[in-house]
Amino acid sequence: MLSDMLMIAFVVIFPHTGILPMFAYPIFILGIVWIYLKVNRQHFSNIGFRFKDISVKSFLYGAFTGLLYAAFAYWLLDPLIGKLGFKPANLSDFKSLRHHFSNYLFLMVLAWLLVIPYEEIIFRGFILTRIKGWFGGSKYAFTISALVTSVLFALYHCQEGAGAVLQIFIFALFQVWLYKKFNGNLWYLIFFHAWYDSFMLTAIYLGYM
């Protein structure tokens, strides 16, 4: 358990150190996690990431639910959080996207091919399964691991502000529901997350956020 805790702390904290650029730290951390799993006689398949599980259904379901949830967040959830007194998300890291198509296209490709798969493998794959394993066969194992993972994922985005942390926590709860619904198949979560981010990045590019 201690080694798991140290690894979880590492994958949550290291990206915020700024030692590696955005396109490099996911590859580095995935390599570390791969080694850690190998040492424990496991593979990425043991935490829900299997190429054979990708399907047209997972893509289409992810597109439908991701875009629907993005619309819900943009037009209903975010305004509601604002009415509760929270400031809008700090999107200064994305200011170079606004009305700059090449930057927008680059970040979209980076998000789809690297950043989003990375976040799902690490959070809903590695972290969730490690925490769940601490509780053995307890009937509360999934609930506790889902809540802790969602809190960690929300805090992972703390640079965007308190309102964004709350919104991302709700987003993460929906993600773990998808995880449960599709028996840990991360492709549903990856496509959901990718289409959600596509909506939001497009809104930023067009100047609506």
Q: Could you write out the DSSP letters of every residue in 59-95?
A: HHHHHHHHHHHHHHIIIIIHHHHHHTTPPPP--GGGG
pLDDT computed for residue 3 by the predictor: 93
Tokens of 8: 């979880």
Per-residue model confidence (pLDDT) at position 1: 85
Helix or strand run (H / E) with residue 113: none
Position 189 scores a pLDDT of: 97
Model-level pTM? Answer: 0.95
Q: Is 51 exposed, middle or buried (0-12, 13-18, 19+ CB in 10 A)?
A: exposed
Residue 22: the pLDDT is 80
Q: Which amino acid is at 82?
A: G
pLDDT at 21: 86
Task: Determine the pLDDT at residue 23.
Answer: 82
Tens-of-pLDDT digits for all 209 residues of the chain? Answer: 899 999 999 999 999 998 998 889 999 999 999 999 999 999 999 999 999 999 999 999 999 999 999 999 999 999 999 999 999 899 988 889 899 999 999 999 999 999 999 999 999 999 999 999 999 888 899 999 999 999 999 999 999 999 999 999 999 999 999 999 999 999 999 999 999 999 999 999 999 98
Question: What is the helix (H) or strand (E) element at residue 155, kind and residue range?
Answer: helix 141-156
**Two structure tokens written together for 202:** 């497009």
Q: Which residues contact 167 (CB under 8 A, 6 or more apart)?
A: 73, 77, 78, 81, 89
pLDDT the model gives residue 148: 97
- Other C-beta atoms within 10 Å of 114: how many? 16
Helix crossing, 186-205 with 56-72: angle to 10°?
40
Q: What is the pLDDT of residue 136?
A: 83
The contacts of residue 181 (CB under 8 Å, 6+ apart) are 188
Q: How far is the C-alpha of 37 from the C-alpha of 54, rounded, in Å?
A: 22
Q: Tell me the three state secondary structure of residue 186.
A: helix
